[in-house]
Structure 1
Amino acid sequence: MEPSEAYPMKGGDGLHSYAKNSTFQGEIIDVAKEFINETIAEKLDIGALDSPKTFSIADLGCSVGPNTFTAVGNIVEAVKSKYQSQSPEFHVFFNDHISNDFNMLFASLPHDKQYYAAGVPGSFYGRIFPEASLHFVHSSSSLQWLSRVPKEVMIKNSSGWNKGRIHFTNSGDEVIRAYQAQHEKDMEKFLQARALEVVHGGLMVLIFAFKPNGAHPSQCLINLALDLVGSSLMDLVKKGIVDEEKVDSFNLPIFFMSPQEVEAAVERNGCFSIVRMEILLRRVQENNNGNGSFDHQLAANMRAGLEGIIRQNFGDNIIDELFDLYNKKMAEVFTPSMAESVKGLFVALERKS
């Protein structure tokens, strides 16, 4: 299997770190808590799991916290409630790419955690755990990252070349199809690996921003936000700060699935059943958490997620100016009402016997 490319979130706990700029992801996890509780209560078959003394949980794409700790804590509490007095011990595996800031992650582990913790570096598009070793898998705000940029969009002067753009939001059909094909390959690898790692009767919960069924990529708010990053880079090209060829050769490996695409991937794999699918509406807390307006929060979130990959391709010198431009564009384009359209998709899967 080809190695996956790594795109870690910004580590540390500084002003622009992911730890301090992942408000949207945290709000979606909070909303998903109710569905996780209900899914575990209704679908976790303790008998099928042979009453393990240790219940193993994996959070895939954990980044640096604090959201991963909230999600894991919710899962542990729900499983303890299911087991009641016969609750097992818990072993939680925090997974992300090798370049993730695991030092920051483990330095901020909750002091009152009710589980043993371990880090598992590696891409979740391949095997990262022993066979039939996991009882519950969770992944939030991670599966939109592809294992790599589609090769077709990198070939100069080809029909799929994505010249002048860094994403497929407003690109031609060939570019969109290339991203779609890469997504299908990656989801096949993801589900194949999890099918071997999750015990029969085990559960997997996937949470991510999504594209509505039948919608064009340009109709997805989060795609439009990505497109503005490309527009900001092209502004730097016009100023002579960034070389145009560098922009032409740079593409974001990000793809937001629709519910239908999730269903199709699960059906092709054949090892899981979808036991629940829900749209998650974030509870808007604008101006109540000290992070400012919606456009400011989203811009800060984008910087925390994209700064690393942009730095790799364009160097350190442009980062502040690029995101200053981006902040201005966000303020011009986005309205407060758009905050309500930031949604997540909750998908609960059960490993078939």
Structure 2
Amino acid sequence: MAAEEIRKVNSEAYPMKGGDGPYSYSKNSTYQREAMESTKELVTKEIGEKLDIDHLLPSNVFHIVDLGCSVGPNTFSSVENILEAVLLKYQSQGPMNPQIPEFQVFFNDHTPNDFNLLFKSLPPNRQYYAVGVPGSFYGRLFPRASIHLFHSSFALQWLSEVPKEVVEKNSPAWNKGRIHYLSSTDEVVRAYNAQYVADMECFLHARAQELVDGGLMVLIIPGCPHGTSVSDTMAYLTIQLLEACLIDMVTKGVVSEEKLDSFNMPMYIMSPLELEAVVERNGCLIIETLKTLSHVLGSDTVLNAKLFASHGRAGFERLIKQHFGEEILDELFDLYHKKFEEELSIVKPRKASSFLVVLRRKAK
């Protein structure tokens, strides 16, 4: 195998908070679960129509991968839904039904992910063989043409790293006093966009090598629908409030200004046009479906504030701890919760948006 086909990209690790405590991802990922469940019928339909099992024969093992699996339980629900859809596809072949294969599922995440909890939580009556695959999905993870279906949900908004230009004091894109490109300068926006494009090109290139001909990718990615201002999205509010909390803590002397200036969130909120452009440049994959999933938050301000503050802590705590230290966590996220309550009580409802993307591997 050529060296360039197994190369790894430099990728920083941003795993969700492990364990099963009150701030863990396993206890604070209901929004992601609801988004995945809302797509179940559509995903079943897409697999039934787009999965070309003729290309899979005579394989007697069907390989499924969940990229960015975290610790569960969401990954198990996603895998179960996909497995049921694949079984229906095989069973739909009627009298000419090929032998139904066995299933092997690969659970992938960064090496610091809490794989111990993941495997302790595996469903006891599962219909598949489970394997853990540590490593960044921005590089190759599997042999060529070995995977039949990839799934990823709420993971591809994470960049492989913070753009280097935004933390260099002499760079036009130095993002002093801010933690993201949202509401920042054009230079910072361009730096983040360039990082997103580079990462997605690596991601698609790797997956195109690993997928069998006719294999599918099913992705749920947080994003900003065409024609919608990023400032109206829930993602914008989530990050802006975290930035405001950190600025308050600098003012109080709890966090140094230098620490704030050197911290940036490695996240990018894509648009469908950006995704379409990078897929077209790749040339090996076809977008079969690109559907916007969105809902407006309900009117219960207290409940929504608690939900999004706790989800934010589960997602951001390890990143914050790594940069600022553990001692600020409780104070920071208590303030984060309060700011959510204040903001949600006075602003118009925000749209929580994501995309369901189904891609198929072109025949070589």
* TM-score, with length taken from structure 1: 0.95
Q: Give, in whole Å, the separation in 1 of the partners of 2:350 and 2:40.
A: 19
Summarize the Cα distance change of 1:277–1:293 in structure 2 as closer, same or farther, 3 Å threshold. same
Summarize the Cα distance change of 1:140–1:7 in structure 2 as closer, same or farther, 3 Å threshold. same
Greater shift after overlay, 85-94 or 179-188? 85-94
Q: Which residue of 2 aligns with 1:26?
A: 33
Residue from 69, 72, 89 that aligns with 2:79: 72
Q: Give, in whole Å, the separation in 2 of the partners of 1:29 and 1:336.
A: 29
Query: Which secondary structure does the structure 1 equivalent of 2:236 belong to?
Result: helix
Question: Is 1:294 equivalent to 2:304 in the alignment?
Answer: yes
Query: Which secondary structure does the structure 2 equivalent of 1:109 belong to?
Result: coil
Q: Give, in whole Å, the separation in 1 of the partners of 2:115 and 2:288.
A: 33
Q: Which residue of 2 aligns with 1:333?
A: 343
Question: Is 1:313 equivalent to 2:323 in the alignment?
Answer: yes
Summarize the Cα distance change of 1:119–1:245 in structure 2 as closer, same or farther, 3 Å threshold. same
Paired amino acid for 1:39: E
Identity %: 55
Residue from 246, 252, 269 that aligns with 2:259: 246
Query: How far does residue 301 in structure 1 lie from its aligned partner after superposition?
Result: 0.5
Structure 1: give runs of 5+ residues left out of the alignment.
none
Summarize the Cα distance change of 1:350–1:342 in structure 2 as closer, same or farther, 3 Å threshold. same
Paired amino acid for 1:255: Y
Query: Which secondary structure does the structure 1 equivalent of 2:195 belong to?
Result: helix
Q: Is the 8 A contact 2:297 2:304 kept in 1?
A: no
Q: Is the 8 A contact 2:70 2:113 kept in 1?
A: yes
Question: Is 1:206 equivalent to 2:219 in the alignment?
Answer: yes
Q: Which residue of 1 aligns with 2:3?
A: none
Q: Which residue of 1 aligns with 2:158?
A: 145
Query: How far does residue 219 in structure 1 lie from its aligned partner after superposition?
Result: 3.5
Query: How far does residue 158 in structure 1 lie from its aligned partner after superposition?
Result: 2.5
Q: Give, in whole Å, the separation in 2 of the partners of 1:71 and 1:284.
A: 24
Summarize the Cα distance change of 1:340–1:53 in structure 2 as closer, same or farther, 3 Å threshold. farther
Query: How far does residue 338 in structure 1 lie from its aligned partner after superposition?
Result: 6.5
Paired amino acid for 1:147: S
Q: C-alpha offsets along residues 58-115 of structure 1, whole Å, 9 cap, x if unaligned?
A: 0000000110000000000000011116321100000000000000100000111111
* Number of aligned residue pairs: 350
Q: Is the 8 A contact 2:143 2:210 kept in 1?
A: yes
Paired amino acid for 1:126: G
Q: Is the 8 A contact 1:96 1:122 kept in 2?
A: yes
Q: Which residue of 1 aligns with 2:280?
A: 267
Residue from 10, 13, 19 that aligns with 2:20: 13
Structure 2: give runs of 5+ residues left out of the alignment.
1-7, 92-96
Q: Is the 8 A contact 2:163 2:191 kept in 1?
A: yes
Query: How far does residue 284 in structure 1 lie from its aligned partner after superposition?
Result: 7.0
Query: Which secondary structure does the structure 1 equivalent of 2:216 belong to?
Result: strand
Q: Which residue of 2 aligns with 1:47?
A: 54
Q: Give, in whole Å, the separation in 2 of the partners of 1:103 and 1:114.
A: 20
Query: How far does residue 170 in structure 1 lie from its aligned partner after superposition?
Result: 1.1
